[in-house]
A and B are shown apart, each in its own frame.
Chain A
Amino acid sequence: AQSVTQLGSHVSVSEGALVLLRCNYSSSVPPYLFWYVQYPNQGLQLLLKYTTGATLVKGINGFEAEFKKSETSFHLTKPSAHMSDAAEYFCAVSFGNEKLTFGTGTRLTIIP
């Protein structure tokens, strides 16, 4: 069965510092990978996706992620954190028409 693990339920970074949110997946076939962000009292918003092709994926709000098959990872990064990045971030995986399976989420706090 497909699964995804997010390391660190809470991450704090200083404003202007590098943001790194970790995601590892378990799969025997090539997955489709996604990162979503959720702000308080809202639904989830797609940040970026990997389906096929280039392994470095650029998303909205300056975020990017790299698909590394050898490490079964899809970590999310942003070079310089902004206060507006404070939110909860979810990594998700799916295969073909299968359901989207989410990780447990990482709450990102930005320190002024």
Chain B
Amino acid sequence: KAGVTQTPRYLIKTRGQQVTLSCSPISGHRSVSWYQQTPGQGLQFLFEYFSETQRNKGNFPGRFSGRQFSNSRSEMNVSTLELGDSALYLCASSPNNPQPLHFGNGTRLTVT
């Protein structure tokens, strides 16, 4: 089986712009979670989608949003980018909780 695929791997954006990141989960996995990883804050949970519905949400501002499609693929969007949004964004999938998460290699976002 193919693993979790995240695109793009690297992204450079300017403050104020918006960005969309994409995640294709492992085939058959219906749950997709997003995490932000930074040196200062570590791994912070953004949100989780299951069968196209947001099931859990972290403590991030409304500029961070996501969605899941009927084929379980997911996108996350960040609007009005700030310098502090620079991070590695990790997507992970699982058949369902409490199954362990399977992570992609992430998208490294740099905001200048």
- CB-based nearest A residue for B3: A43
Asked if B28 is an interface residue, CB under 8 A from chain A, the answer is: no
Asked if A96 is an interface residue, CB under 8 A from chain B, the answer is: yes
Q: In this complex, which of B55, B58, B96, B101 has the most chain A Cβ atoms within 10 angstroms of its Cβ?
A: B101
Which B residues are CB-close (under 8 A) to A90?
43
Please judge, given known A-B contacts A43-B103, A43-B104, A104-B42, whether A99 and B56 are in contact too, CB under 8 Å.
yes
Contact with A along B64-104 (1 / 0, CB 8 A): 00000000000000000000000000101000111011111
Which A residues are CB-close (under 8 A) to B101?
44, 46, 100
The CA-CA distance from A86 to B82 in the complex, in Å, is 33
Please judge, given known A-B contacts A98-B56, A99-B33, whether A44 and B90 are in contact too, CB under 8 Å.
yes
Chain A residues 8-57 with CB under 8 Å of chain B are: 32, 34, 36, 41-46, 49, 51
The CA-CA distance from A40 to B67 in the complex, in Å, is 28
User: In the complex the two chains form, is B33's CB within 8 Å of A94's CB?
Assistant: no
The CA-CA distance from A41 to B105 in the complex, in Å, is 7
Please judge, given known A-B contacts A97-B55, A98-B56, A102-B43, whether A44 and B103 are in contact too, CB under 8 Å.
yes
